[in-house]
Chains A and B, each alone.
Chain A
Amino acid sequence: MTLAPERTLTEPTTSTTTTSTTTTSTEATGTDVAKPNVNSRLRPESDPTREFKPKRSGKPNPMAHLTPEQVEEIGRELDALRQEVMDSRGERDAAYIRKVIKTQRYLEMGSRATLLFSGVKVKGVKPFWWIGTAGLSIAKILENMEIGHNVMHGQWDWMRDPKIHSQAWEWDNVSPASQWKHSHNELHHTFTNVLGRDNDLGYGIIRVDEDQRWTLFCLGQPIWHVANAAMFEYSIAAYDLELGGYLAKRKRMTEEEKAEFRAQASEVLGKIKQQATKDYLVHPVLAAPFGGTKSTLTANIVANLARNIWTNTVIICGHFPEGIETFEKTSIEGETRGEWYLRQMLGSGNISGSKFMHIMTGNLSHQIEHHLYPDMPSNRYAEISPRIRDLMERYELKYVTGSLPKQVFSVYKKVVQLSLPNKVEGRRRRDTVKLAAARALRKKSLGGRPR
């Protein structure tokens, strides 16, 4: 947990005097003088004085056709829908998450037990390896997505069960819950698709929007992207740790900042060690009496790899496919509730599919609904999605959705296309690359990663 970026940048938290005028921050918090501290995103009233801030590419404002009154109306309608669902949470929702948790635990135990015999060959194949590995992969995916991700969002905090609570949950992933909650819940969900503020836009290594700066580093991004997917849990840990930022800025950091980084890094190392000990040491050793050490080891490696690739595949479909909007860095200053909702809707995309598919994606296939209401129980997203779609269509907003193959293809295409610089009239792209290469040779650097 960290101190909020929005207030503490300009205001020391230790000040004991309060004059309302000292609380100006990097983001103007609105015109309400009586309550200068209240986040403008909590305010339903729209602000007619706000102006659209265009991106470098000059792309048009996707909300331009809406009047301030309509924006306000959208905010109120979405608030009312949220309230309706939250008020109706009850027994059946609690039973749902408990059933998922129970199923996941039995599945994991069953798969682990099956893997003890993974070395046994029947007619040249190892049936227990295949069954156990498939089961373990599914168990790990459920644990990370439908359970871990959603519990840590606080979707189940209302049950007041200390065992299923955002503040107590730890997941089978090398990124510690506390660090992940900061970078995901706080930064990504607040600053969704805002260039320069939402680092989930390409995780700092992949250029997924033409308004992101191109550097020579991007030329290799089809490779970085596949490598990132394969080792996704480790890259997420490095990303949540802000390892890249540390390496770039460590010379300018204070001792205190460095100490905090070291403490967090050792937390990550601790989790890596825990997972490796369990998956790659103790389980294989337990299978030794049945001759399954090596096969259990490979099963665990494959299950973790399958989980990495699957989670990455689902997650890239949330914000990167064609048709999803990004926003200029300063465009969110003074953003009201309705505008925040609009950004979440336009900055997210869904995946269509079967009920099983939705559960396997942790209901992130309902990314739009999830981004509107990150703390709503995941089993409710499917129920509200027709109403969200209807609302968006009524206001002529694009509800981006498509099958998994379609959305994945769209992202991969983008990753390849954006590895090259944008087309600019009067200049060939190959010249831009050459120029950058020549400059880099002079400076002996690759010009950094896309931001």
Chain B
Amino acid sequence: MTISPARPHAVRRRPSSSVAAPVAGSLRSSLWRVAEILATPLVPSDYLDLFNPLREGADLRGRILAVTPETPDAATITIQPGRGWRGHIPGQYIRVGVDIDGVRHWRAYSVTSPPHTPDGTIEITVKAIPDGKVSNHLVRRTEPGTLVMLDQATGDFTIPAAPPARTLFITAGSGITPVIGMLRSRTDLPDVAHVHCAPTAADVICAEELRGFGDQGRTAYLQRHDDEHGMLDLADLDTLVPDWRDRQTWVCGPTGLLDAAEAFWAAHGIADRLTVERFRPTVIEPGEGGRITFLSTDRSVSSDGGTPILDAGEDAGVLMPSGCRMGICMGCVVTMRQGAVRDLRTGEVTTAEPGDDLPIQTCINAVAGECDLEL
């Protein structure tokens, strides 16, 4: 049973393309086979990781090299990724797995560094949000040298290889991060307008650099502060960027801005010119009882907040794995793809966002809002 997004346990190296390749290849794979026998019941990686956790073939990890403050509550984290890092396209994000108080938490952050740096490092810029467990930890309490888990870069919030004739970026708060990655590397964009909003002037991440792009003439840069100008009203675009309708537009910021932008562009019949970045497609608000969806068997059932998921599933005719029915044997554990559940013994709520894939005990957890299970 896999618990997290499937990552290969042991990746064999491809044989080199020399003449001796077939021989070397088969020798290498025989040696690997012997290594597997020696490592059983573990895998060779478990031993190799002791010596070099960033080696080729290891699960993708990164070592934090530096934490550089940007604003009072934002910092840029420089990471040396493992040898398996396949690179990124500006605008894409990575998921970072950080151990905080012994517990691994995964969060997505845009890569802000250009695709090819001389030392092969990557950067993410993190803004500490109120009550944000991971962001506060990264900004304020991370020591250089810490190992973190990484996923390969992903996301469609990117600019095509052939640059659009005219571009508009609208960013707010930490929504600047994917765009700063684009601006740093895409020097080929001929005509860029950029509207960036932040609560106050002090909150602007990379403020100098953004102004610099403007001063160099690379962007027509407008910076708006909520305390000075009020919240951005998209209707003002007609005065801020009069030709906004003709521009390919990328928007990144809080959900409210994204929703407004989608509605606004759709209302003008030019939805195809808009790309938005949504980090949190669904916000999970724990509730009392709710809908349980069993993904593999394509079944769904409503349950109250006092019934264990195990019982709700069995009553719906789902063949549930089970055991002690009191929370001690782990025989009933299934993977929650997303949703929220509440421990009936303690009241503790566990939430999973898409990609988290958390294993949960169904015999002592009840649905809290909704949950999707791999079953």
Contact = CB atoms under 8 A, between A and B. Distances in A.
Interface of A: 1-4, 6-7, 11, 13-16, 18, 34-35, 37-39, 41-42, 79, 83, 86, 89-95, 102, 105-106, 109, 152-154, 157-163, 165-168, 170-172, 181-182, 185-186, 189-190, 271, 274-275, 277-278, 282-283, 340, 374-375
Residue of B42, B323, B359, B363 with highest tally of chain A CB at under 10 A: B323
17 contacts: A13-B320, A39-B363, A42-B364, A79-B345, A89-B102, A95-B102, A109-B47, A159-B102, A162-B2, A162-B4, A165-B3, A165-B359, A166-B333, A186-B331, A190-B324, A374-B329, A375-B328
A83 B331 CA distance: 22
B143 interface: no
A37 B327 CA distance: 14
Given A94-B102, A105-B47, A186 B311 contact: no
Interface residues of B, number: 50
Contacts of A39: 325-326, 363
Contact of A35 (B42, B307, B333, B364): B307
A11 B34 CA distance: 49
Contact of B34 (A2, A165, A189, A282): A282
A168 B1 contact: yes
B160 interface: no
Interface of B: 1-4, 34, 37-38, 40-42, 46-47, 50, 99, 101-105, 306-308, 311, 314-333, 344-346, 358-359, 363-364
A168 B7 CA distance: 13
A375 B359 CA distance: 15
A182 B323 CA distance: 7
B37 A16 contact: no
Given A2-B321, A172-B40, 11 more contacts: A4-B325, A6-B325, A13-B314, A13-B320, A41-B325, A95-B102, A109-B47, A274-B37, A275-B40, A277-B37, A375-B328
A189 B307 contact: no
B327 A42 contact: yes
A38 B307 contact: yes
Interface centre among B42, B102, B346 (most CB of A within 10 A): B102
Given A160-B103, A166-B333, A170-B41, A106 B50 contact: yes
A278 B37 contact: yes
B102 A186 contact: no
Given A157-B359, A160-B358, A182-B331, A4 B315 contact: no
B16 to A, nearest CB: 26
B1 to A, nearest CB: 5
Contact of B317 (A2, A15, A166): A15
A432 B107 CA distance: 71
B183 to A, nearest CB: 35
A159 to B, nearest CB: 5
A119 B315 CA distance: 63
Most chain B CB atoms below 10 A, which of A35, A105, A163? A163
Report the 5 A-B pairs with minimum CB-CB distance, sorted nearest first. A94-B102, A185-B329, A37-B311, A186-B323, A4-B322
A121 B21 CA distance: 42
A83 B343 CA distance: 12
A154 B315 CA distance: 27
Nearest to A108: B47
B358 A41 contact: no
B103 A37 contact: no
Contacts of A89: 101-102
A160 to B, nearest CB: 4
A39 B310 CA distance: 11
B104 A161 contact: yes
Contacts of B105: 160
B38 A38 contact: no
B315 A18 contact: yes
Contacts of B99: 94, 159, 161
Contact of B330 (A2, A93, A167, A278): A167
